[in-house]
Amino acid sequence: MDSPPSLPPATLPWPDLLAGAASSTRRLVAAHSHHFLALSSLLLLPLALLLALPCPFLPASASSPAAPSVSLRAPPDPQRDPLAVPLPAVALAAALLYLAAFAAAAASAHAGFFGRPVRLLASLRSVPASLTRLVVTALPASPLALLPLLPLPAPLRAALPILGAVLLSPFWSLAGAAAVVESTAGFRPLRRSCQLLWGARLAALFAFLIFAAGFGVTLWGFGGVAAETYDAAAGWAAMAPVVVKAVAGTALLAVMMLYGMVANIVLYMHCRALHGELAGEIYNEFADMYVFLPFDDGKDRHVVSVVTVWP
């Protein structure tokens, strides 16, 4: 006898799916606010500083001796290479730090989604194994990072990686979540992401665009703090706005990265629910909490009350 054909995933309008994922993300972060605050302080704040204030790694232009000034950039030293840290090394460090933060946030969000205890040490201990899987999974998309090195006009070099990320987000945006939660690596999480996003590609695309626009606006508004030169004679009156702007920019960037990572895991779980994959997992998660009574004989114990994961 032929096996019955697999049922198509349940359909849900992408605005409702996106709104449900956003609501679940907000509730999840609020329920474990202290945990995610500690996680952000350990992993996301250094990354936000690296992204928003990259200028200490770059040389500053020579200032006029007639106008004393202060700059957050490192002063040029003729005795050594003006680039104290090569830019590719900074980019590689930022990428690895982002993947490590995503691995920790994904483990915490997945545990919190099912109501399990969320512990900081457990999330940090899961980082090395998950980081290896994320790096292997990210290798197929790594050529996007080489596009700015092509001999093309500067606007085109900057637009090509953005265009590539926009085109790949409706297909591969859940690959990182699949790699961490399902402990897989390589092309399998990529295929898994394509499968889960069937019927939810617009939700994934708009989620990516919303967070990408937020990152872009934040970096544009706060990223030039260290590049400016300030009058040293003005003292603290000139530096106080700079410090406030730098702190606000890095904090906002860290918060946006945290919500983006948690939202990615929540969207992954919602897509699994649309494909009918969560009912069995919820049953296995809470089966030991159900007490069977004598008059329950004959009932189907696999039929449990499954609460929808969107409002």
Residue 286's pLDDT band, with cuts at 50, 70 and 90, is low
Which tens digit of pLDDT belongs to each residue from 85-110? Answer: 566 777 788 889 999 999 999 999 99
DSSP 59: B
CB 309 within 8 A of CB 113: no
pTM: 0.77
- What pLDDT is stored for residue 255 in this prediction? 93
pLDDT given for residue 127 in this prediction: 94
Banded pLDDT at 28 (limits 50, 70, 90):
very high
Q: Which is higher by pLDDT, 167 or 259?
A: 259
Could you tell me if 106 and 39 are in contact, meaning their C-beta atoms sit under 8 angstroms apart? Answer: no
Ranges 19-28, 56-65, 151-160, 270-279: which has the least confidence: 56-65
Q: Is the pLDDT of residue 175 over 90?
A: yes
Distance CA 199, CA 12 (A): 8
Q: How does the average pLDDT of the chain come out, rounded?
A: 76
Domain ranges of the chain: 14-60+76-284
Please list the residues that pair with 229 across neighbouring strands. 71
Residue with tokens 């990072």: 145
Give the span between the Cα atoms of 194 and 28, in whole angstroms.
25
Q: Which helix (H) or strand (E) holds 229?
A: strand 229-231
The per-residue pLDDT for 103 is 95
Q: How far apart are CA 106 and CA 104, in angstroms?
A: 5
Integer Rg of the chain from CA: 24
Going by C-alpha positions, the residue among 144, 151, 110 that lies closest to residue 28 is 110
Q: Decide: 193 and 178 in contact? Cβ < 8 Å.
A: yes
Mean pLDDT of 279-292: 56
Residue 74 phi/psi, 5° resolution? -70, 135
DSSP state, residue 63? P
> Terminal CA-to-CA distance of the chain, rounded, Å?
40
Q: Which residues make beta-bridge pairs with 33?
A: none
For 64, phi then psi, to 5°, come to -75, 130
Beta carbons of 48 and 101 less than 8 angstroms apart = no
The encoded tokens of residue 122 equal 């457990």
* Structural tokens at position 81: 């290479």
Closest CA to 267 of 186, 185, 210: 210
- Rounded Cα distance between 243 and 226, Å, is 10
pLDDT digits (tens, 9 = 90+) for 207-256: 999 999 998 888 887 766 655 555 555 566 666 777 777 788 888 999 99
What is the pLDDT at residue 282? 64
Number of H helices, E strands in the chain: 12, 2
Task: Give the integer Cα–Cα distance in Å for 52 and 44.
Answer: 12
> Closest Cα to residue 120, out of 198, 175, 191, 38?
38
d(CA 294, CA 306): 23
pLDDT for res 68? 44
β partners of residue 71: 229
Burial of residue 52 (CB within 10 Å: 0-12, 13-18, 19+) is: buried
